[in-house]
Amino acid sequence: MNILVTGGAGYIGSHTCVELLNAGEQVIVLDNFSNAKPEALNRVINITGQQMITIEGDIRDAALLETIFSQHNIDAVLHFAGLKAVGESTMDPLNYYDNNVNGSLCLLRAMQKHGVKTLIFSSSATVYGDPDSVPIFESSPLRATNPYGQTKLVIELMCQHWVESNSEVSVTLLRYFNPVGAHDSGTLGEDPQGVPSNLMPFIAQVAVGKRKSLSIFGDDYDTPDGTGVRDYIHVVDLAQGHVAALKQRNEQAGCHVFNLGTGQGVSVLEMVTEFSKVTGQDIPYQIAARRPGDIAQCYASSQRARLELDWSSKRELQQMIADTWHWQRLNPDGYV
């Protein structure tokens, strides 16, 4: 199949390109490189030994989409392109609505015009906001608490309405929990710009000596050790979840929703302790105030994906850490 991968140079998109190429698919990446480097795509080609088509451009560029859909016989779209920083979204919400919502609208319009019926969309556990209970099921209440999360909810709704209006369309909404880790070659990984806001890349930068110590945001949550609990999932498992979704849901009309997580909660302190154990590195930390907007705990029920996609995560926490560390040591400054 010819697969258009928007945001394919990014962290999750690039790992998914590897899995798609390994599965024998033809890949066409569309990325504006606003949060990625072309080098990531060279690494994908090196890992797989396969070629793919790269197009530099924006999903909001309707003329460009027209050219892409006219020139390539696209069978399905995997839509990763978007902005993802929660804090930034509260400071510049209009940019988030423009990039994420307007961008997705442009994409769906082009798909509709060209009769492309299969879409897999990168949604997020952030659509559940502060959950009433854990594990979180796909049927749990949806209530995003920041502009970024709200853009994901609006896009989900737009997809739902699109499906209702067209009985041939197949949309799969994948709600990712906390993606971490890197490709086991050590050549592909997460390359945050500036100070990482997520836990795993921050710890990795402390371990490699780029930052002095980790601030643990709160130790008074209602969790076993007082620190926040999350469902960390290896990015390669996540990438393989997309291939499974494509296989199971391609051209199966309807709107399909899946959590992609491990179903296991891990606290910040557990992560720090395990990171030290796996890597042999000391991770200095201090307890700091809670981060505004953070929740106590969040982890998935991964049952639906297991039953309906025949997919479940395979890589344990130790592997997530070992692969993060391998990538961080080999690429201390990312894709320079």
Q: Indicate which residues carry an active-site annotation.
A: 148
Rounded to 5 degrees, what angle do the CA atoms 211, 316, 250 make?
A: 105
Residues 100-119: x/- map of binding to ligand NAD (CB under 6 A)?
Answer: ---x----------------
Say if residues 222 and 233 touch (Cβ distance below 8 Å): no
Handedness of CA 278, 279, 283, 289 (dihedral sign): negative
- Does an H or E element contain 118, and which? strand 118-124
Nearest Cα to Cα of residue 32 among 103, 115, 117: 103
Binding test (CB under 6 A) with ligand WQD, winner from 168, 294, 310, 316: 294
| Six token digits for residue 30 | 């569309």
> Does position 259 bind ligand WQD by CB under 6 A?
no
> Does position 122 bind ligand NAD by CB under 6 A?
yes
Residues 43-82 that bind ligand NAD (CB under 6 A): 58-60, 80-82
> Does position 215 bind ligand WQD by CB under 6 A?
yes
Site stretch for ligand NAD (CB under 6 A), options 29-37, 108-116, 163-171, 308-316: 29-37
Site stretch for ligand WQD (CB under 6 A), options 18-26, 59-67, 105-113, 210-218: 210-218
Considering the complex, what minimum distance in angstroms separates the CB of residue 228 from ligand NAD?
14
Residues 164-183 that bind ligand WQD (CB under 6 A): 178
Quickly list H helices, 166-283. 199-207, 235-249, 268-279
Residue 107 neighbours by CB under 8 Å, 6+ apart = 6, 59, 65, 77, 79
Binding test (CB under 6 A) with ligand WQD, winner from 198, 248, 303, 319: 198
Residue 230, CA distances (Å) to 194, 227, 272, 275 in order: 23, 10, 13, 15
**Which parts of this chain interact with ligand NAD (CB under 6 A)?**
6-7, 9-13, 30-36, 58-60, 80-84, 99, 103, 122, 124, 176, 179
**Which parts of this chain interact with ligand WQD (CB under 6 A)?**
84, 86, 124, 126, 178, 197-199, 202, 214-217, 228, 230, 268, 291, 294
